[in-house]
Chain A
């Protein structure tokens, strides 16, 4: 049904040129420049020679940078797994809710997603920091427990030590889960919502329990949705900059933080460019992997 561009050249040009030119000029060219820089060398404070060297990439696979890449993948992986474990039951509950409740719950899940990332991170800092609300509640509980113990004639508990909840890897994971949970819930929900329910009813009628039905019937049926939820959570988590920067400690730097340092402080653009492209290749590998799995599962179904 599509029209060949040859049959309406003027209309095609008028429609296609603005977005294509914009994409080329303000997206593809900037990326191409970075790509070219990744094969360059710093020859002066502001001059970069495009020498075609691979030294930036060789430096990027030195152990300290490999470790950071590995750490980023692990942190993004744990984040994705936690989002899946929390998000799946929530998506299941929403998918089987009454139409009215469904709309409200979806809105409630979406709303934090519309609020500013920086504000959400800031809100989390206020909760987790040393004099934050979590430690405040814990201290209150601790002091009450201590008072109860003296009352019962026991030794009171010692001085309350606030938990160090911020500036470590756990804080980065909590922050990433907090930010990315809606990304996971929405694709899971749309997969579960489209699912053929008679299969679940059949499984329940035939005597399988709810847990078994969910594991053996629902999960395989929702596999494409799970895969896209995993991808949509993993990719931004892998390239996260703000969360590790604000919630992480000195040893929880992820790739994005190293890239930022090369461009804004260390002024080593070629090396930063090489790291950026490595991060991009990792992203593309994740996407390709997902596409491959998806195709395999479709083939199996046929």
Chain B
């Protein structure tokens, strides 16, 4: 574990507040991390296990990956999920950034109500939003059936954007709080138009917030099961919905393999996102 600070002289005793260097808390942190990681680790390790019973190590194999990759419906679900997540990210970042700028910059009647409305998708239970979307796309605005891919995913993309963009707005607004408004005025005084000021002064400042928001929207969309479960049709299955139906039948190593791929993908994306964010923050500082 990486929690150990730099090597210390042998007689250095933990300071009064260095709780991490006291054994009861060390054990606590260790056990918690084990609890969080052991199930995921075993899932990943046993996706390479050459046994259907899935519990005793019988030797290394890649056959479940082959099976998963040749399972057409699983691949389709996977690409649906990625497409939805990508479209949701683009829409949510746009809408979320606009919402953040609106709430940060303007004073207008009913602002408190709008702020409350924007916070609603964050606090409303997923199941309520799921059934609302089900009814909306069944009765109010039926999404046409049999559209070509990716237009058939529209309903799910809309539903995901509705819950993801307020999260983006929150993140971007927090970033905007540190903006020096005099910069905007300076740009305006030097003759830049409203649009140019927005694009050349405000957007670059928002950038770390936009990256963090994009990362959040992408994972929220990729992760969502409940809302998708209520909006997905038989021909618009996403990866979580597919895994759910596979789990209903039996726990197969194929699901382990597919899950491992998704875990690795999320970890890589998160790392890339955090790196980009840190870099863009550093650049802003320097």
Question: Which A residues have a C-beta under 8 Å from some C-beta of B?
Answer: 1-5, 8, 11-12, 15-16, 18-20, 22-23, 26-31, 33-34, 37, 86, 89-90, 92-98, 100-101, 104-105, 108-109, 111-112, 114-120, 122-127, 129, 131-133, 136, 178, 181-182, 197, 200-201, 204, 235-236, 238-239, 241-242, 246, 255-256, 259-260, 263-264, 269, 272-273, 276-277, 279-280, 283-284, 287
Contacts and interface: CB of A to CB of B under 8 A. Distances in A.
- Majority secondary structure of chain B interface residues (helix, strand, loop or mixed): helix
Nearest to B108: A5
B127 A122 contact: no
Does more than half of chain A's interface fall in helix, strand or loop, or is it mixed? helix
Contacts of B114: 20
Nearest to A254: B127
Report, as a range, how many residues of chain B touch the other chain.
35 or more
B277 interface: no
Contacts of A126: 39, 42-43, 46, 54, 251, 256
Given A31-B124, A104-B2, A127 B42 contact: yes
A118 B259 CA distance: 9
27 contacts: A2-B105, A3-B106, A4-B106, A15-B102, A16-B102, A20-B114, A22-B95, A33-B139, A93-B25, A94-B20, A98-B20, A105-B3, A111-B270, A114-B266, A115-B40, A115-B263, A119-B43, A123-B43, A123-B259, A132-B55, A239-B125, A239-B127, A256-B126, A276-B125, A276-B131, A276-B132, A279-B128
Contact of B98 (A19, A104, A131, A269): A19
A191 B219 CA distance: 25
Nearest to B133: A30
Nearest to A95: B19
Given A19-B95, A29-B140, A97-B19, 4 more contacts: A5-B107, A16-B106, A28-B117, A125-B247
A134 B284 CA distance: 50
B108 A12 contact: yes
B16 A100 contact: no
Interface string B10-29: 00000011111000111011
Contacts of B230: 263-264
Contact of A22 (B5, B16, B165): B165
B135 A33 contact: yes
A17 B234 CA distance: 34
Contact of B19 (A5, A93, A260): A93
Interface stretch (B63-71, B144-152, B203-211, B220-228): B220-228
A92 B19 contact: yes
Given A28-B117, A96-B20, A101-B5, A276 B128 contact: yes
Given A101-B20, A118-B225, A283 B124 contact: yes
Contacts, number: 270
Interface of B: 2-6, 16-20, 24-26, 28-29, 32-33, 35-40, 42-43, 46, 53-56, 94-96, 98-99, 101-102, 104-108, 114, 117-118, 120-121, 123-129, 131-136, 139-140, 158-159, 161-162, 165-166, 169, 181, 194, 219, 222-223, 225-226, 230, 239-240, 243-244, 247, 251, 255-256, 259, 262-263, 266-267, 270
B240 A118 contact: yes
Contact of B128 (A114, A119, A239): A239
Contacts of B270: 111, 114
A97 to B, nearest CB: 4
Contacts of A269: 135
Nearest to A278: B128
A31 B25 CA distance: 45
B249 to A, nearest CB: 13
Contacts of A133: 42, 55
Contacts of B16: 201, 204
Contacts of A86: 28, 32
B119 to A, nearest CB: 10
A119 B259 CA distance: 6
Contacts of A272: 131
Nearest to A104: B2
A104 B3 CA distance: 7
A122 B255 contact: yes
A280 B17 contact: no
A208 to B, nearest CB: 11
A2 B106 CA distance: 5
A273 B131 contact: yes
B247 to A, nearest CB: 6
Contact of A260 (B127, B219, B266): B127
Most chain B CB within 10 A, of A19, A34, A111, A256, is at A19
A86 B126 CA distance: 25
